[in-house]
Structure 1
Amino acid sequence: MTLGENTLMKRNSRLSLALHTLGHMAGDPDKMQTSAEIADHAGTNPVVVRRVLGKLREAGLLTSEKGHAGGWRLARSPQQITLADVYLALDESLIANGGEMETPDCSIEHVLQKKVAAVMADIERSLIERLASTTIAEVRESGHAAHGA
Structure 2
Amino acid sequence: MRRDSRLSVALHVLLHMPELGPVVTSEQMGRLLKANPVVVRRTMAGLREAGILRSEKGHGGGWSLARKLESVTLADVYEALGAPTLFSIGPRDESPGCFVEQAVNGALGKALEDAEALLLARLRGTTLADVAASVRRDAARVPRSGSRRTS
Report the identity percentage: 44
How many residues align? The count is 139
* Alignment TM-score, normalising by the size of structure 1: 0.82
Q: 2:61 aligns with which of 70, 92, 107?
A: 70
Measured in 1, the distance between the counterparts of 2:95 and 2:23 equals 53
Measured in 2, the distance between the counterparts of 1:101 and 1:23 equals 40
Q: 2:70 aligns with which of 65, 74, 79?
A: 79
1:129 aligns with 2:109: no
* Alignment TM-score, normalising by the size of structure 2: 0.81
- Structure 1 segments of 4+ aligned residues over 4 angstroms from their partners: none
Q: Structure 2 counterpart of 1:70, which letter?
A: G
2:69, 2:128 within 8 Å by CA — same for their partners in 1?
yes
SS at match of 1:20: helix
1:46 aligns with 2:37: yes
Deviations 1:82-138 (A, max 9, x none): 111112222202223514419832122023213311221221111011112211112
Q: Structure 2 counterpart of 1:109, which letter?
A: E
Q: Which residue of 1 aligns with 2:131?
A: 139
SS at match of 1:40: helix
Q: Larger Rg: 1 or 2?
A: 2
CA drift of 1:27 comes to: 4.0
